[in-house]
Amino acid sequence: MTMLLPKFELHQPKTVADAVALAKKFGDEADYLSGGTDLLPNYKCGLNARKHVISLQHIDDLKHIDARNIGAGVTLTEIEHNTEVPAGVREAAGHIASPLLRESGTLGGNLMLDNRCHFFNQSYFWRNSLGYCLKADGDRCHVVPRINVDGKSVLNDKVCVATHSSDLAPMLIALGAEATFIGPAGERTIKLNDFYYGDGIERFDRKPGEILVKITLPEWASNVRSGWKKLAPRQSIDFSVVGVGIALELDGKKVKTLRVGLGAVDTTPVLFDFAKQDVRKDAHHYLLVSPMLGMPDVIGQELTDELIDKVAMHVQTQAQPKLNVPMAPDYRKKMCGVLTRRLLTELRDGPTG
């Protein structure tokens, strides 16, 4: 079946200020467009398309990259090949989609990628035959059809558990990235970890009309070992069904910093900060992974195989994959532990930096 783009008016501002002014003018009728590799396929499926599309492709201020700052308009290919940024960020960027898509896809689009679900990423025809769902055009969830409210099992007309599938988000959260936005109310910078807080529909804390301008890594991120591993049906093209990004700093053989970013198993990326300090401020979705619950003591201890095993088992125990992307949830849960164990062992035994 041919899927055509719906009609929309394309705007092509050259500055952030002009783009924000357009977003303010058109409100809910407008979407930002960067590389278009996520937004346009969704439009073709009839998913929440808008009448006005504001392209960010001609805004040079979004395209700067150095060791600690990455502009939202920098392409995935540029990130993959930039030797200044931490290894884990290069690896995560280099495993997204395919070489062609990485030429167009950008950091901004990747961090604001829509959540994915078997019942959502389908043609209009397919969704129509099922009666739609909460995330587009419908009033119920097919993955979690009932929820418990005040001790009673009721039809789920509230909670969407669509899976967060960005590869860069968990890696950047592990490295302590901050995100800077400019919108009608001015500029603000927040921890990327605090940006993601919602359910599969609301997803994140982007105020109306805000543009992501850049992410900034803390100074310590340049000195840690970092890496990325993902599980996907095929090595290329496919989205992650588990993604693990780790930032590790050792003092001799002892752990000084250990932060694991887990992707594609919940409605948001999940941070496990083993220093037990970096905890997401507000999280108001219903089926939350609890990274701090039963977290083993790791900081200051020698990173032995046994300790790596404890860390991997903790991540695996907390992961709660849903049956809404490829591969069975119990297999994906197990792979959260397997990938964490493999990556942490590689980072411990490999070269520093």
Q: Is residue 324 at the binding interface for ligand SF4, with CB under 6 A as the rule?
A: yes
155 binds ligand FAD (CB under 6 A): no
CA pair distance 292, 126, nearest whole angstrom: 40
141 lines the binding site for ligand SF4 (CB under 6 A): yes
Query: Does residue 133 touch ligand SF4 according to CB under 6 A?
Result: yes
Site residues for ligand FAD, 239-258, by CB under 6 A, read: 239-240
The item of ligand SF4, ligand FAD, none sharing an interface with residue 162, based on CB under 5 to 8 Å by kind, is: ligand SF4
* Of positions 108, 170, 198, 321, contacts ligand FAD by CB under 6 A: 108
Out of ligand SF4, ligand FAD, none, what residue 112 binds, judged by CB under 5 to 8 A for its kind, is: ligand FAD
| Interaction between residue 227 and ligand FAD (CB under 6 A) | no
Closest residue by Cα to residue 298 from 254, 264, 344: 254
Q: Pick the stretch among 30-38, 67-75, 136-144, 206-214 that binds ligand SF4 (CB under 6 A).
A: 136-144
119 binds ligand SF4 (CB under 6 A): yes
Q: Which is nearer to ligand FAD, 105 or 337 (CB)?
A: 105
* Spatial contact of 228 and 76, defined as CB atoms under 8 Å apart: no
Q: Give the binding-site size for ligand SF4 (rule: CB under 6 A).
A: 14
Q: Residue written as tokens 């700093």?
A: 249
C-alpha distances in Å from residue 98, one per residue of 76, 104, 218, 234: 10, 10, 29, 11
Q: Does residue number 237 form part of the binding site for ligand FAD (CB under 6 A)?
A: yes
Query: In sequence order, which residues have a C-beta less than 8 Å from that of residue 126 and are 6 or more positions away?
Result: none
Part in contact with ligand SF4 (CB under 6 A); list of ranges 139-147, 178-186, 294-302, 333-341: 139-147
Contacts of residue 128, defined as CB under 8 A and 6 or more positions apart, other chains included, come to none
Percent helix, percent strand, percent coil in the chain, to nearest 5: 30, 25, 45
Residues 47/57, Cβ–Cβ less than 8 Å: no
Q: Token pair of 231, please?
A: 């599980």
Residue of 109, 200, 245, 337 that binds ligand FAD (CB under 6 A) = 109
Contacts of 306 (CB under 8 A, 6+ apart): none
Residue 2 burial class via C-beta count within 10 angstroms: exposed 0-12, middle 13-18, buried 19 and up: exposed
What are the residues whose beta carbons fall under 8 Å from the beta carbon of 226, sequence distance 6 or more? 86, 87, 88, 89, 171, 174, 175, 245, 246, 247, 248, 347
Binding mask 3-42 for ligand FAD (x = CB under 6 A): ----------------------------xxxxxxxxx-x-
Which of these segments, 62-70, 95-103, 132-140, 289-297, binds ligand SF4 (CB under 6 A)?
132-140
211 binds, among ligand FAD, ligand SF4, none (CB under 5 to 8 A by kind): ligand FAD
Does the protein bind ligand FAD through residue 166 (CB under 6 A)?
A: yes
Q: Please give the residue ranges that form the binding site for ligand FAD (CB under 6 A).
A: 31-39, 41, 56, 72, 76, 96-97, 101, 104-106, 108-110, 112-113, 165-167, 211-212, 237, 239-240
